[in-house]
Structure 1
């Protein structure tokens, strides 16, 4: 009788993978699900790594938990000659290495390259601490594998689906096998709808690299990062990014600082003569002429200008 998570076979976050890979995956799952202990030195990371950033604090917390309770959920690996390639469980592997474990429990399964990568991607996407950039890249990579197309083609297809759904263009893609496959995959993952993914996630990939790096490291929320990315000057953008992180600025505060900076830049970049011309043009069309109080103010200002001109006129 199974009494604890430690005694259970590898089940983790692979619900979506079973749907993606179909009967072959389910057959593999029952064929060899008993954990084995193998030495960490025999486990190699795959060449294509879905995950790039690990939160140091959370990884340290996991290491402490493993030190106290051990690894409760086996890693998933596939045999590679005399060694094993990690399929799922990189955080557990890294944490085990941090506390000096020599062996870890694993479940060994036979997977081809595509199956292994899909499992790694889905497990990665199921993580609570996954940042939105890695989530976006992971979903695109998964769609690329599923539809056997490049990620650039997938992005174009998603935007065409969005435009058709909004009635901006003639329906040509919606209802096709490709779009149905995309919708099915998003339903399987259950983390975000395809519509929200296109409108809120794909734009992240167009952010400046410096913003992307900070966002990928989980130092700032993507809504704040998107706002900061509107600042074109790199030094100003980095200064605002640093302030947003260290001072924990709200999105409203960030937008206020951006607005203030733009006002300052505009005032400095426009010459005094140009400002006068703009103000004069606006004044002629303004409704201040019908307001007696404002007329008096204008009269005083005009008198000052006339006096200034008289002082500087040639004798």
Structure 2
């Protein structure tokens, strides 16, 4: 089976398919390439490249790797072989990893001299998009790493939130809410990075204007003495009181709508796919976007 899934559904709108026209020239300029190849599902040439000629990108989205998962991957490769080649691009006389750094690290741990790879000719924007998609697909990024990656796609490559959302198979609001987390205070970012608070709790903190109350709420989230429902109810009560003092007509948000939005974000965080929750009367309907059998299998495994 392929590894194509919803996150890459809009990829071709940004990255056109490359026919790999420079392959023969690569063999002429780099005799170290071993042209013992097989044909992949898409008829791309899989080559064996000297592991010493390959290096990882310095500015890829993932900043940390779990040693235990790399060891598990190495054991799997040792037993079954490398099922999916890495993707690289040639830079001078070496090869930079576009997708597959975890597989590259596992192969190095095994002490192997070569690795199966596909050589592609991508520009910087293509590499950024592919690297982000590959990391989200293979193993969840930390949410702040994901947010920084989206910010880079937006600021450096002028992609709109709508374009990023389409490429990642997520909603525009998910992209916007994830990027909003970059506005957290440093202490809140550390708590989120350590898993002491959830992304949904972090977004709730962003809606609190009072600095002291925000700090107290952070501590309450960490020690488990409050939750999002309690915080939102308190905010609604305070808003009504403030509006009654100024004789303004109350225009408070609906708590159910807030909690539905929070649950939608949690589902998308968990499933890495676009999710919609709608209400009709007393009934709720959960819709999960899937674009292939592989999507259904992966979502089933996560559930």
TM-score by length of 1: 0.53
Secondary structure of 1:71's partner?
A: coil
If each structure's helix is expressed as a fraction of its own residues, which one has the higher value? Answer: 1
For the pair 1:185 / 2:181, whether they are aligned, the reply is: no
1:35–1:74 Cα contact (<8 Å) kept: yes
For the pair 1:27 / 2:19, whether they are aligned, the reply is: yes
- Residues 106, 67 of structure 1: CA spacing in aligned structure 2 closer, same or farther, 3 A cutoff? same
**Aligned counterparts of 2:112 and 2:217: Cα–Cα separation in 1:** 43
1:94 to partner: Cα distance: 2.0
Q: Deviations over 1:140-165 (max 9, x none)?
A: 222334427xxxxxxxxxxxxxxxxx
**Aligned counterparts of 2:165 and 2:151: Cα–Cα separation in 1:** 11
Higher RCO structure (Cα 8 Å, ≥6 apart): 2
1:216 to partner: Cα distance: 3.4
Residue of 252, 264, 269 corresponding to 2:227: 252
Q: What is the match of residue 194 of structure 1?
A: 172
For the pair 1:203 / 2:147, whether they are aligned, the reply is: no
Q: What is the match of residue 11 of structure 2?
A: 17
**Aligned counterparts of 1:250 and 1:33: Cα–Cα separation in 2:** 55
- Residues 85, 214 of structure 1: CA spacing in aligned structure 2 closer, same or farther, 3 A cutoff? farther
**Aligned counterparts of 1:55 and 1:251: Cα–Cα separation in 2:** 31
1:86 to partner: Cα distance: 0.7
User: After the TM superposition, which residues 1-315 of structure 1 pair with which residues of structure 2 at under 5 Å, given as runs?
Assistant: 14-22=8-16, 25-28=17-20, 33-147=44-158, 182-191=161-170, 193-198=171-176, 200-216=177-193, 220-225=197-202, 244=223, 249=224, 252=227
- Residues 57, 209 of structure 1: CA spacing in aligned structure 2 closer, same or farther, 3 A cutoff? farther
**Aligned counterparts of 1:40 and 1:61: Cα–Cα separation in 2:** 20
Unmatched tracts of structure 2, length 5 or more: 24-42, 235-303
Unmatched tracts of structure 1, length 5 or more: 149-180, 260-315
Q: What is the match of residue 276 of structure 1?
A: none
Answer with 1 or 2: which has the greater Rg.
1
CA RMSD of aligned residues (A): 3.9
Aligned pairs, number: 209
